Amino acid sequence: MSTFDVLVRGGEVVDGTGAGPRRADVGVRGASIAAVGDLSAADADQVVDASGSLVLPGFVDAHAHADALLGDPRVQEACLRQGVTTVVVGQDGVSFAPSSADAARWASRYFAAVNGSAPAGLATGASVERFLDSLDRCGAVNAAVLVPAGLVRAEVMGLDARPATAHELRRMAALVAEGMEAGAIGLSTGLDYVPGSFADTDELATLAAPAGERGGVYVSHLRGYARDRVRDSLAEAAHVAARSGALGHASHLHGSADVLEPLLAELSERTGSPMSFDSYPYLRGSTILAMIVLPASVQAGGADATLARLADARVRGTLREAFAANARIASIRLSYLADPGWAWAEGLGLREAAERAGAELVDFCCDALIACDLAVGCVVDNGADRTEEDVRRMLRHPGHMASSDAIFLGSAPHPRGWGAFARLLARHVRELGDWTWGEAAWHLSGHAAERFRLSGRGRVAEGAVADLVVLDPLEVAARADYDDPVRPAVGVSHVLVGGAIALAHGELAHVRTGRALRVPRAAGASR
């Protein structure tokens, strides 16, 4: 009888604590790491030769949009070829649960260019428990789930731009509590999106309280990231976290390090609880076109109301004024248009696409959004106040963890879904030295596993879950770029997920060992 099911032999282990590489073998039995050390005398059913390679804990993507796509081999390859074994979904306040049929239809339409349409089993509504069940063993990548505050608001209040009543607040908080009991890791908001932008700070604190009571996180797409808004936006997130008792976390935080570093220190001191944040190593972002070009008032009331306004010549007239004042429009490149008749525009700049269509810019945008039922994605500059040096400084901040903010739809998506983690390793470890390999393992795995209470993940240690990455430190690299954004990374040879080999010699093994990571209620947390 073999000593181990899988033996990763001959590599240097980077254990996820921040410590540097050390020579060790890793023995796996079942889904767990059974031994780490000199295992040269051991045998195994399967042996992975890790000579010349590093062995790290599976990476945790702290912010990804794979809610409807985790079973897609293309998405699994994008993740595993970078060493990502766990993604955190339910981001930006919009996902598929908890919902009834009406809210599920809204989320599926509104975020169709981000998360994809709701799978058949969730299209008529679902609990967080059912959503977790749908993610369990649907592929080779694990998933942790956030309760999305915008969806909760849509479920209870619809899409009206008004404050919640006391009764509505109680109903929304109960849905969050139910989701947390089912195993969600916390609450997410999308305060640049509707209906999240209609929620005030008191509402957010009320909804975050059940997450705080259960040891969870408050993960916020802030109310604004521009230099003139980020102070108030980040302060609001810290305030909500402090009031609710949840651990505060800012999604895809970007901007001037000169502004953000002292602000994070100030807020941590003021609230007594340090904020964490995630980021990706690119200067451009990606989102839905409606969020960039349409005022919240045009989006109020749901998709049908928005589409009716977009067909109104008077509304288009007001949009011309808004477009003229919107500096980001010039940088927009279309990434995804759901109507096949409009797919020709994917990869084109917004102005270029309008010119090719022979249409005025506002009319082109409105017509495209109507034809695609709002499902239009784009890549866009994050703003002039963020430089490569800012990215590097924020990566080195102790509150940082890695994310891709991956959107996997369209022929011209942002390359971050296929390259963010590989770029961090190649550029920021090997080339620039912003991290050591030990620090990289912490930022890419250990920190998120600890902050989000992903038990057994983020470590290469006896008793930990056998989510493991074997990579060549001289060869790992991102190949995806803005011109060719869906090229898988190179340099990761093997990946284990739950003890099974999910990537072998760079090729998918098509196993289904990815788990829905249900987080237990924190010890001592109140109900």
Q: For the chain, what are the domain ranges?
A: 59-283+383-471, 289-379
Q: How far apart are the first and last CA of the chain?
A: 47
User: Could you tell me if 192 and 226 are in contact, meaning their C-beta atoms sit under 8 angstroms apart?
Assistant: no
439 three-state secondary structure: helix
CA distances from 261 to 235, 253, 399, 402 (A): 13, 11, 10, 17
For strands 4-9 and 44-49, give the pairing.
Answer: parallel
In residues, how long is the chain?
527
Other beta carbons within 10 angstroms of residue 313's beta carbon come to 8
Edge-first strand listing for the sheet containing 284-288 = 284-288, 376-381, 333-337
Give CA–CA dist 131/34, Å, rounded: 31
Q: Residue 469: name the closest of 5, 50, 29, 18 by CA.
A: 50
Q: Across the 527 residues of the chain, what is the mean pLDDT of every consecutive 10-residue run?
A: 92 97 98 97 97 98 97 97 98 97 93 92 95 97 98 96 97 98 98 95 98 97 93 96 97 96 93 93 95 90 91 94 89 97 97 97 97 96 86 97 97 98 98 98 98 97 98 98 97 98 97 94 47
At 520 the pLDDT is 81
User: Could you tell me if 277 and 399 are in contact, meaning their C-beta atoms sit under 8 angstroms apart?
Assistant: yes
Q: Residue 251: name the closest of 150, 135, 66, 400 by CA.
A: 400
Measured CA angle at 380 (ends 379, 384), to 5 deg: 155
Give CA–CA dist 361/411, Å, rounded: 22
Question: Of all residues in the chain, what percent are helix, strand and coil, respectively (each to 5)?
Answer: 40, 20, 40
- Going 285 to 286 to 291 to 293, the CA torsion angle's sign is positive
Question: The domain 59-283+383-471: what is its CATH number?
Answer: 3.20.20.140
402 three-state secondary structure: strand
User: Could you tell me if 329 and 293 are in contact, meaning their C-beta atoms sit under 8 angstroms apart?
Assistant: yes
Give CA–CA dist 116/110, Å, rounded: 10
At 382 the pLDDT is 82
Structure tokens at 141: 């990548």
At 192 the pLDDT is 92
Give CA–CA dist 127/63, Å, rounded: 21
Q: What is the Cα Rg of the chain in Å?
A: 22
User: Could you tell me if 57 and 113 are in contact, meaning their C-beta atoms sit under 8 angstroms apart?
Assistant: no
Structure tokens at 326: 């919107």
Q: Residue 83: name the closest of 434, 444, 463 by CA.
A: 444
Give CA–CA dist 9/23, Å, rounded: 10
Non-local (6+) Cβ contacts of 190 within 8 A are 91, 92, 93, 94, 148, 149, 150, 196, 221
For strands 59-61 and 247-250, give the pairing.
Answer: unpaired
At 526 the pLDDT is 38
At 521 the pLDDT is 65
Structure tokens at 501: 């080999």
Burial class for 219, CB neighbours closer than 10 Å (0-12, 13-18, 19+): buried
User: What is the value of pTM for the model shown?
Assistant: 0.96
Measured CA angle at 400 (ends 393, 12), to 5 deg: 95
